[in-house]
Structure 1
Amino acid sequence: METLIEHVVIRRQGGPEELRVEQLALAPPAAGEIRIRHLAVGVNFLDVYHRNGVYPLPALPATIGVEGVGIVEAVGTGVSGMHPGQRIAYAGRPGAYAAVRNLPADYAVVLPDAVPTEAVAGALLRGITAHMLFHHVRPLQAGDTVLVHAAAGGLGLVLVQWAKALGARVIGTVGSRAKAELALAHGLDCAVLYREEDFVAAAREFTGGRGVDFAIDGIGGPTLLRSFDAVRPYGMAASIGQAGGMPGPVDLMQIGNPRAISFSRPGVMRLMRDPALYREGADATLARLADGLQVRIGAELPLAQAADAHRMLEEGRTTGALLLRP
């Protein structure tokens, strides 16, 4: 029997105003699925890219959002090891902006009692991203230097702490002195106020003129080429987003002579399509949370205010993670 459930839906791609609250029919979980009632939904820039069309969706209308924590309400046939009442988290499966949803059971990660709902809702996708970057894209070694843009954001704070736990030194860009203080309190070694300072010069000074070993750029636009200039010869730059605009085409001459660096454009959604890598990243994130990874929740809004959450994110008015509460 179908049930009417509150969803946040887009019927065409565009600005935050395209996010509309609707009552949609939800069927019972199919074979291999579970039904979960969300406790919290993580808001990520990936959701913005799905909404505005930078990353096209398979079909419209659609419910966006790729990360949530909830309670299992029902289990479809063929699902083993899961039962109603369990608290689970997931990432990588669109459809999170809803009070209740059906989810392929393979994506569900059963949570230990000691892991707070808010922490994992704000950290699972970001933790899997950090694991991808520091263990698969460029394995980080103790003593390495890392540049992180938007170091006080939800992903930035996770990347800073993860890199520090691996023994790296981290320099990060921030938009205000308050954000600098927040990032420094989470382990950042050097904060650069990018509106007042040249982050390339700061990165060079931080490394004694050499350049960082690894630059992680989620800003895009003209910032990406400048990030290349902050990297040492034979170091690496990774482009993981475009919060500041789509980067222009990158050709071999831009990463070759005289820079002589490596360049990566990794995709965490692609990684999470591999069940083994998804589980590996999720387990690594839970382990980091157990070891003391701090997840700052900058704001929580009702699910119906998803459009406001997107505006806050795009306008840089958030620190830490942003959650929606059904």
Structure 2
Amino acid sequence: MYKAIRIHGYGGPEVLQLETLPTPVPGRGEILIRQEAIGVNYIDIYFRTGLYKVPAFPAILGMEGAGVVMAAGAGVTDFEPGDRVAYPTALGGYGECRTIAADRVVPLPPDIPFDIAAGCMLRGLTVHMLLREVHAVRAGETILVHAAAGGVGLLLCQWARHLGVRVIGVVSTEEKGELARQNGAADILVGHDNLAARVRKLTDGAMVPVVYDSIGKDTFVASLDCLAPHGLMVSYGNASGEVTGISVGMLATRGSLYLTRPGLTTYLAQRSALLAGSRELFDLIVQGVLTVRIGQRFGLPDAGAAQTALESRTTTGSTILLP
């Protein structure tokens, strides 16, 4: 038997219920993992509220974690009991153990602790996607990053600085701004009021070639107004709500802009991409280029409190559950 957090319907944090369940048996192509640490992300909230739909109820939320292989199902050749592993995009993480398709898991190097892995797999690979794939940044560019003190934001600031990119970080408080600055942001803007005018001043009127916006509804138009002609709006989150009611004319009148809504699962669909991105992420952590900040730690029974803290926008860095 093992403990897991399940939901039986969509709703607020109160729908997250701690339950005792039979220990699952890995099927063909699957492994069973004893989880040492579990990531908490905004996507978990989207699934809890119904913005994203779970396959069926009851459902176990959670997309990211790290632990030790307990058993391997038929056909699994890459992993065996005792192996340290981590994963970034597989629903079912809020539990002491879980089964998962072996091709969605990567080996975890011995010098990467479990909590660090759970705090960086989804976030770090999201940053890899944003900086390497969605818009391949170039040294000397200036980019605008919303939520620059969050789990993704801090890693994005560090990684961009490593690539020679100037980051203008948008945060909600001066304290968060100082944290983002310590992690690589060259300039800090608190709040998004008059955002375009402040970006114009910082860039001497040039504006930016790309905006990375995880906030969604509240910042979408302001982000568009910060782009240079032919700039790219990367909307990759909905922290303030889903962006709706878009007119494509908004892109034309602001300088023939581009808009994308990337999803990490698409970019990691091929196992080769998952392995390559993870290797680069782990290498940068070991080299000290990236420092993963675990800002909040909760016990598994406190998953609701963890999500509430995340929704309140008072958190910094990554949030994890410890089974």
Distance in 1 (CA, whole Å) between partners of 2:32 and 2:132 is 33
* 1:117 aligned to which of 106, 109, 114: 114
Point out where structure 2 has 5 or more consecutive residues left out of the alignment: none
Q: If the length of structure 1 is used for normalisation, what is the TM-score?
A: 0.95
Pairs within 5 Å for 1:29-40: 29-40=26-37
Aligned to 1:90: 87
Aligned to 1:249: 245
Q: If the length of structure 2 is used for normalisation, what is the TM-score?
A: 0.96
Shift in Å at residue 284 of structure 1?
A: 2.3
Per-residue CA deviation, residues 71-105 of structure 1 (Å, 9 max, x unaligned), is 11111222113221111101111000000111111
The ranges of structure 1 where at least 4 consecutive aligned residues each deviate by more than 6 angstroms after the TM superposition are none
Distance in 2 (CA, whole Å) between partners of 1:58 and 1:233 is 41
Distance in 2 (CA, whole Å) between partners of 1:82 and 1:140 is 35
* 2:273 aligned to which of 261, 274, 277: 277
Per-residue CA deviation, residues 248-274 of structure 1 (Å, 9 max, x unaligned), is 222221111233211111111222333
Kept in 2, the 8 Å contact 1:127–1:284? The answer is: no
Aligned to 1:135: 132
| Structure 1 residue matching 2:320: 3-state secondary structure | strand
Per-residue CA deviation, residues 94-128 of structure 1 (Å, 9 max, x unaligned), is 00000011111112211111112222211111111
Distance in 2 (CA, whole Å) between partners of 1:256 and 1:178 is 37
Distance in 2 (CA, whole Å) between partners of 1:169 and 1:294 is 18
Distance in 2 (CA, whole Å) between partners of 1:236 and 1:213 is 6
Amino acid at match of 1:172: G
Amino acid at match of 2:322: R
Distance in 2 (CA, whole Å) between partners of 1:21 and 1:34 is 23
Aligned to 1:12: 9
Per-residue CA deviation, residues 152-208 of structure 1 (Å, 9 max, x unaligned), is 01111011111111111000111111111111111110111116x532222212211
Distance in 2 (CA, whole Å) between partners of 1:273 and 1:11 is 28
Change (3 A) 1:137 1:319: same
Find out whether 1:61 has 2:58 as its counterpart.
yes
Percent of aligned pairs with the same amino acid: 39
Find out whether 1:230 has 2:234 as its counterpart.
no
Find out whether 1:103 has 2:100 as its counterpart.
yes
Aligned to 1:289: 285
More divergent stretch after superposition (185-194 vs 27-36): 27-36
Distance in 2 (CA, whole Å) between partners of 1:238 and 1:21 is 36
- RMSD over equivalenced CA pairs, Å: 1.3
Kept in 1, the 8 Å contact 2:24–2:98? The answer is: no
Aligned to 1:200: 196
Shift in Å at residue 26 of structure 1?
A: 2.7
